[in-house]
Amino acid sequence: MAGRAQNPPLPVSRQVNVNVAGQNIPNDAANEPSLCVDPINPRRMAVGWRQFTNINNNFRQAGVAYTTNGGLNWNFGGTLETNVYRSDPVLASDAEGQFYYLSLKTTPSFRNDLWKSTDGGASWRRIAEAVGGDKAWMTIDRTTSPGRGNIYQCWSTAANDFGSRIFSRSTNGGTNWLDPITQPQTPFWSTLDVGTNGEVCLLGWNGSGFWFNRSRNATNGAAVPVFDLTTSVSLGGSLIFANGSINPEGLLGQPWIAVDKSSGPTRGNIYALCSVSVAGNPVDVMFARSTNGGSTWSAPVRLNTDSPTQNAWHWFGTLAVAPNGRIDVCWNDTRSNTNNLFSELYYTSSTDGGVTWTTNRPISQPFNHTLGYPMQQKMGDYIQIISLDDAACIAYTATFNGEQDVWFVSVDQPIITTIAKFGAGVRLLWNAVAGRTYCVQVKTNLLTPWAMSMNLGCVTATNTLGILDDSSLSGSMQRFYRVGRQP
């Protein structure tokens, strides 16, 4: 009797911007995807992106699609508004699983509006104008703090109606917004997250360095937010914009911030990441962490582990933290192509607060990132990752069809299974997520391909441990088991 673990194959990437028949739309361009996931039912997700109907025209709309089965199939929802120029899509979910879509309109001025979906992204309605401006980002408080449900937004000084006043808040679901206020150091191209007590945490670039800003009183809807802490964060290099050879007219990565809201020993840690210019490689993915609320930060750590002088590009780095505290990071990587014409999506993770990391590994096929540029010569400015306890969900841009398209990939976390004698048979136990269904397959010949007919049984976990017994053993029969989760 024997059991054997197997390495997972390359995860399957599935196209998001498809027609009603689930097929590719020829000759369009889709880029700059943003992803949101229902925290109550993670099988429900939505992706928004910049949709170019014709790559020979700079006109783009707000594309959107949704899934109800964890990304196995995507339903094209069209655009928020037909024939309305839009850009900079940002999606987020509140604690009740309602989806929000922040979108930039450039006429009559550079301002955003906010859209909402109560059916998992199948339909959307406009809530209101949402102040803002170019390269906005938003986050929603899903904690149990007094600020639960607050929406926070920041944007760039490059193009907006508010000058250097680049932060705002809504306390009523996006219907009304605080008159925008300034931030210390005026960081731009920023991202935000909410801390364990509802505090707002922001990381941005101000032209010469990365800055972290925190507001503890932002939870108080009766008070104007005050940034009580501002600290410099070293990520070992500078942010890069408008490189001539890769993503010629866009960012190579925006600053990312994420707060650990797990119940474990890393709770409250704050993580910062960006693809930055360094000596040797044009761009590396650099990471830093704070264990004291942002007051001080660790020295920067280089996460891509190829040669530091290979002249490879590691761009569009992004990170997220799972509810159980695991940190997930992904980026585009050219290390396997000497001419830097092809990228692969790479991935690494940490379960100890960023002290150690798993081996870098590709999670997509190579794609030629120079194909299918629309008139605006870039693949957007970002991709996005959202972490679940048992998977990292990623929306990214690739050119597998010879054009820019939006793709989704789920990086499932390892299922560690133990096998022990139990009566006349054996008991299989594995790490699980409550509410998730797992199926166990069994075979007696290692060389026989796995098939659905080999299912021993499926169970829905009620806690963090999955259990299934195999009582059909006969003598010293050799048996091999595989445990997999259902989407």
Residue whose pair of structure tokens reads 């890069």 in the numeric block = 240
Is 3's pLDDT higher than 60? Answer: no
Please tell me whether residue 346 adopts helix, strand or coil conformation. strand
Indicate the domain borders of the chain.
13-412, 417-485
Q: What angle do CA 408, 411, 417 make, to 5 degrees?
A: 150
> What DSSP state is assigned to residue 260?
-
102-124: per-residue pLDDT in tens?
Answer: 999 998 889 999 999 999 999 99
Architecture of 13-412 per CATH? 6 Propeller (2.120)
Q: What single letter denotes the amino acid at residue 76? A: F
**Phi, psi (deg, nearest 5) at residue 219:** -70, -20
Is 305's pLDDT higher than 80? Answer: yes
**Banded model confidence at residue 476, pLDDT cuts 50, 70, 90:** low
Which of 298, 284, 416 lies closest to 355, judged by CA?
Answer: 298
Which of 478, 468, 407 lies closest to 446, judged by CA?
Answer: 478
What percent of the chain is modeled with pLDDT above 90?
77
Is 300's pLDDT higher than 60? Answer: yes
Half-sphere exposure of residue 306, counting CA atoms within 13 Å on the CB side? Answer: 22
**Banded model confidence at residue 338, pLDDT cuts 50, 70, 90:** confident
164-197: per-residue pLDDT in tens?
Answer: 999 999 999 999 999 999 999 999 999 999 999 9
For residues 303-319, give the mean pLDDT. 95
How far apart, in Å, are the Cα atoms of 196 and each of 148, 268, 290, 298, 473?
11, 6, 14, 20, 49
Q: What is the pLDDT of residue 473?
A: 73
Is 1's pLDDT higher than 70? Answer: no
Q: What is the pLDDT of residue 247?
A: 94
Name the range with the highest mean pLDDT among 49-63, 207-221, 368-382, 423-437: 207-221
Is 434's pLDDT higher than 90? Answer: no
Residue pair 65/43 in contact by the 8 Å Cβ criterion: no
| Greater pLDDT, 56 or 209 | 209
pTM given for the model: 0.93
Both structure tokens of 420 = 């022990």
**Banded model confidence at residue 10, pLDDT cuts 50, 70, 90:** confident
Q: What is the pLDDT of residue 90?
A: 98
Q: What is the rounded distance in angstroms from the CA atom of residue 336 to the CA atom of residue 317? A: 17
Is 354's pLDDT higher than 60? Answer: yes
Q: What is the pLDDT of residue 4?
A: 35
For residues 72-97, give the mean pLDDT. 96
Q: What is the pLDDT of residue 5?
A: 37
What percent of the chain is modeled with pLDDT above 70?
98
Q: What is the pLDDT of residue 8?
A: 55
Average pLDDT, the chain: 93
**Banded model confidence at residue 6, pLDDT cuts 50, 70, 90:** very low
In this structure, which topology does domain 417-485 adopt according to CATH? Immunoglobulin-like (2.60.40)
Is 479's pLDDT higher than 50? Answer: yes
DSSP string, 158-176: SSBSSTT--EEEESSTTSS
> What DSSP state is assigned to residue 360?
P
203-229: per-residue pLDDT in tens?
Answer: 999 999 999 999 999 999 999 999 999
**Banded model confidence at residue 325, pLDDT cuts 50, 70, 90:** very high
For residues 392-398, give the mean pLDDT. 98
Q: What is the pLDDT of residue 341?
A: 93
Pairing status of strand 167-170 against strand 188-194: unpaired
> What DSSP state is assigned to residue 241?
B
